[in-house]
């Protein structure tokens, strides 16, 4: 079985306009999208599309308008087709994410790692989310070595009020194995203004290990969103300039589930 857990360290290091640094520990699920039902069948407190302590709901991820009832794998295949990419028959997708915890879900970013039927890496997708419930997928398909992908791409998504939307994301990631190694930098031209990393160690996805992580990292999704708001308050106290979401609708493009603050034509 390809599905597993990763015990992770998250690091954020802001370089401009003022330095701000923090790190924290979490755990994440790495779910083979063809195995989710099998995982749910053997772990009593993990379910798919129904309430549980941990619940994976397909609709919490990439959802194309008019196709809300299909599986997340089918959604991703449809999105890839819209980018001109045909997903191969028998291909696999590994999704690194957090499921719902006691009904609550929040993922600043999830990652799909796509491979062919023989297990050869093809490309990755970063599914970035914000506190408005919006999602934006970014295709990462530039090879940077064996099992590594990278891409520099315009951001065009409202993630933090303390950064201008006219920035770029630089994704650098390695296909997960015994280690998880993901880096995302925010760039303003040639300057890096925010460094973010997600690194971790593979652990088995068993009932016993999930129970241990539940005790070690309780209410993990609430912890993540709580830290986001706490550090936003610290940035505000540092008098870092902030930007209203509705002030930059033209720079919010390719957004799924667009909030009322931007017009659908901006998507």
**Mean pLDDT within 227-245:** 87
**121 pairs with which residues across the strands?**
115
Cα gap 140→168, rounded to integer Å: 13
**256 pairs with which residues across the strands?**
135
50 φ, ψ (degrees, to nearest 5): -150, 160
Burial of 33 (0-12, 13-18, 19+ CB in 10 A): buried
Q: Answer whether residue 264 shows pLDDT above 70.
A: no
Cα gap 15→193, rounded to integer Å: 5
pLDDT value at residue 64:
86
227 φ, ψ (degrees, to nearest 5): -65, -40
**195 pairs with which residues across the strands?**
13, 185
Cα gap 113→156, rounded to integer Å: 22
Q: CA–CA distance from 114 to each of 173, 174, 194, 227 (Å)?
A: 13, 12, 27, 30
What are the tens digits of pLDDT across the range 51-109?
A: 999 999 999 999 888 777 789 999 999 999 999 999 999 999 999 999 999 999 999 99
Q: Answer whether residue 119 shows pLDDT above 50.
A: yes
Reported confidence tier of residue 204, pLDDT bands at 50, 70, 90: very high
Lowest mean pLDDT among 39-43, 123-127, 188-192, 241-245: 241-245
Quote the percentage of the chain above a pLDDT of 70.
Answer: 98
What are the tens digits of pLDDT across the range 209-221?
A: 999 999 999 999 9
Lowest mean pLDDT among 36-45, 83-92, 241-250: 241-250
Q: Answer whether residue 263 shows pLDDT above 70.
A: no
pTM > 0.75:
yes
Reported confidence tier of residue 265, pLDDT bands at 50, 70, 90: very low
**Beta strands at 46-48 and 54-56: parallel, antiparallel or unpaired:** parallel
Within 8 A by CB and 6+ apart from 138, the residues are: 125, 126, 127, 128, 151, 153, 169, 171
Cα gap 138→82, rounded to integer Å: 13
Tokens matching residue 64: 């194309």
């Amino acid at each position: 079985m390809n599905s597993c857990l990763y015990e992770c360290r998250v690091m954020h290091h802001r370089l401009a306009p003022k330095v701000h640094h923090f790190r924290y520990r979490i755990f994440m699920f790495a779910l083979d999208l063809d195995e989710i039902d099998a995982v749910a069948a053997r772990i009593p407190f993990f379910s798919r599309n129904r309430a549980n302590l941990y619940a994976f709901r397909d609709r919490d991820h990439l959802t194309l308008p008019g196709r809300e009832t299909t599986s997340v794998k089918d959604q991703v295949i449809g999105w890839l087709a819209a980018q001109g990419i045909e997903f191969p028959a028998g291909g696999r997708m590994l999704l690194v994410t957090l499921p719902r915890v006691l009904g609550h879900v929040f993922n600043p970013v999830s990652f799909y790692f796509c491979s062919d039927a023989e297990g050869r890496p093809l490309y990755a997708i970063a599914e970035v989310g914000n506190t408005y419930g919006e999602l934006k997928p970014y295709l990462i398909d530039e090879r940077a070595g064996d099992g590594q992908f990278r891409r520099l791409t315009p951001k065009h998504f409202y993630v933090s009020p303390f950064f201008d939307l006219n920035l770029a994301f630089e994704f650098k990631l390695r296909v997960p194995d015994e280690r998880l190694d993901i880096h995302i930098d925010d760039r303003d031209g040639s300057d890096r203004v925010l460094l973010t990393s997600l690194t971790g160690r593979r652990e088995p996805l068993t009932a016993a290990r999930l129970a241990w992580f539940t005790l070690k990292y309780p209410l993990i999704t609430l912890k993540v969103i709580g830290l986001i708001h706490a550090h936003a308050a610290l940035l505000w106290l540092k008098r870092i300039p902030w930007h209203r979401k509705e002030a930059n609708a033209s720079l919010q493009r390719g957004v799924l589930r667009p909030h009322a603050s931007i017009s659908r034509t901006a998507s």
